[in-house]
Structure 1
């Protein structure tokens, strides 16, 4: 799993921000921005309270994140109240899950784009009647403990 330092470096680099500690992610805004970066249709950034400093704002953002994930078929229960309270363990566990989820799906998206451009990132040709989804593979599902709505 990733350390809190690795997660902070990744978030800061991905979003060009300067988050100092893992608990600062409890606003949910960075997770919403990352999900939007991964799949823009999953979450409307206009609804995200980007500069909120209140617990009610944090909860609002986390619920948007949960809804965005659910709309993509990802049944991940976010411990919203524990996270917005700044509980280190819950923030670390969710951040580790989210980074793993993001990186897996980012690779899938890169491969889809490369294949759409006539170049296969892994040297294979994807049949036209098969569509890759934003969901992790069976191995990733087992690792991440994700329950999916789909018939996977």
Structure 2
């Protein structure tokens, strides 16, 4: 079984030291292009723009990636027109293929993702990527004397509190975006299951005897659809609660 959406995003964020929360964000082309730079190490990353929000800029990013495909003889269509629309399914499928390609051709060793893109993009707040330089880790984890002094003064405390509030608000916004992406993904797969369920019902209506065959295809499909993990309990239906 392939990796889940979250596993793929975790891999991408660790590799590139980014903080991508939704698959749709890959439609900019920037992160996908840098994955191939981590493999070959010679892409013109100065031409790849991370902090952009126009389709024109996305297309320019994908031009860099298209040149890589052409020069390296990569036998895989690059569906740029679909990817730049930032749709979940198109970008998920391409990310899955990209990960398989990376697993096959990644040469190993350290990769300075932030340095290669000249500091563009948003660095993750968690631990360093397995291949990030150790100096970056030390800079991010070693407290300074000045920071400790500020926490003991009213003025520094105010600055520190404002900084913490901004960081917390940023984290809240990221979590909200993640929830939106998860809900969209849930709805997508639910609609697929519903379509399958309708097809099964139609098959039973056309040929009622198929339901009585425990070894038949219809019965096997139903077993997969309605089975649950051990210990799972369907929650009781109750009044809706307010969500924030």
Q: TM-score range by the shorter chain?
A: 0.5 to 0.7
Give the alignment's Cα RMSD to 1 decimal. Answer: 1.5
Q: 1:75 offset after TM fit, Å?
A: 2.5
- Count residues in correspondence: 108
TM-score where L is the length of structure 1: 0.66
**Equivalents in 2 of 1:7, 1:97: separation in Å?**
11
Q: 1:110 offset after TM fit, Å?
A: 3.8
Partner of 1:17: 18
Q: 1:57 offset after TM fit, Å?
A: 0.6
For the pair shown, the structure with the greater C-alpha radius of gyration is 2
Q: 1:91 offset after TM fit, Å?
A: 0.6
Kept in 2, the 8 Å contact 1:66–1:77? The answer is no
TM-score where L is the length of structure 2: 0.42
Kept in 1, the 8 Å contact 2:28–2:86? The answer is no
Q: Deviations over 1:24-65 (max 9, x none)?
A: 111111111111111112x21011122211111111111211
Partner of 1:93: 93
Is there any run of 5+ residues in structure 2 with no aligned partner, and where? Answer: 110-244
- The structure where helix makes up a greater share of residues is 2
Q: Secondary structure at the residue paired with 1:104?
A: helix
Partner of 1:6: 7
**Equivalents in 2 of 1:86, 1:50: separation in Å?**
14
Extract structure 1 runs of 4+ deviating beyond 3 A. Answer: none
Q: Secondary structure at the residue paired with 1:61?
A: helix
Kept in 2, the 8 Å contact 1:7–1:95? The answer is yes
Q: Deviations over 1:63-88 (max 9, x none)?
A: 21121122111022111111111121
Q: How does 1:1-152 map to 2 (within 5 A)?
A: 1-41=2-42, 43-106=43-106, 109-110=107-108
**Equivalents in 2 of 1:82, 1:72: separation in Å?**
22
Kept in 2, the 8 Å contact 1:29–1:61? The answer is yes
Is there any run of 5+ residues in structure 1 with no aligned partner, and where? Answer: 112-152
